[in-house]
Amino acid sequence: MTTDKGSTRYHHGNLRPTLLSVARALLEEGGPEALSLREIGRRAGVSAPAAYHYFSSLDAIAAALAEQGFAELSERIDAALAGPRRHLLAGGIAYVAFARANPGLYRLMFGEGFQAYAKGNEAIGASRMRVYRQMKDDLEKRLAPEAVANAALFLWSLTHGLALLMIDGQIEPGLDPDAKAEEVLKLAGLGLPAAK
C-alpha cells in the first residue's frame, strides 16, 4: 500500500474488487454477521480507513455484494431459460442451485443483517425486481393478466422457501439436490397451463 506525496489516496491495485472478494469469502464463512470492515481490510492487506476510500460503510459493501449476487442469479436464470429446457422449472432449479452454492450471499441479498439498508436501496430493489421479472415474463405467456402477479409471488415464495430450507439443512436433498429441487418445483407447475 502506498500513498501519493501530500495525499491520503491509497493505491493497492484493484482494491475495490479485492475488498468485495474478501467480503464475499467472509460472508460464505460465517454469514452476514461475519462481515466487519476491520476484518475485510485486514484480509485484503490494507487498513480499515483505506477501505473507506472505496466504500463509505459496511452497509455500502453489503449493498455492492447484494447487487453482485442478484446480477449473478439473474445470469444463471437467463442461462437456464435459454438452455434446452427453456421453462420456469429450469429457472427455479437454477435459482435454488445458486442459493446452495452461495448461502451467505443469498441471505445477504434478501437483507439478512442489513435489512434497513437493503430495503431503501434502489439498486438492490431494481436487481431483485429483475429476477422477479424473469418469472413474470414466462407467466405472462400462460396466464390471464390479472393472475400473473399472484402466480409470480407464489412461485417466488416456493422457490425462495425451498432454497432457504436447503441451505439451512432443514431438508435432506439426497444425493442429487437439483433432482430434489426439480421434484418439489414440478408440483407447482401441475396447475399452470402451457405457454401460449
Q: Is 146 exposed, middle or buried (0-12, 13-18, 19+ CB in 10 A)?
A: exposed
Q: Report pLDDT digits (tens) over 39-84.
A: 999 999 998 888 888 888 888 899 999 999 999 999 999 999 887 7
Q: How far apart are CA 41 and CA 19, in angstroms?
A: 7
Residue among 53, 41, 46, 42 at smallest CA distance from 12:
46
Q: How far apart are CA 125 and CA 127, in angstroms?
A: 5
Angle among Cα 133, 191, 142 to the nearest 5 degrees reads 45
Total-model pTM:
0.84
Q: Is 177 exposed, middle or buried (0-12, 13-18, 19+ CB in 10 A)?
A: middle
Helices (H), 102-121: 103-109, 115-120
pLDDT at 85: 67
Q: Report pLDDT digits (tens) over 91-144.
A: 999 999 999 999 999 999 987 777 766 677 888 888 888 888 888 888 888 889
Mean pLDDT, range 163-171, rounded to an integer: 93
Q: How far apart are CA 146 and CA 128, in angstroms?
A: 22
User: Residue 13's pLDDT band (boundaries 50, 70, 90)?
Assistant: low
**End-to-end CA, the chain:** 59
pLDDT of 2 higher than 70: no
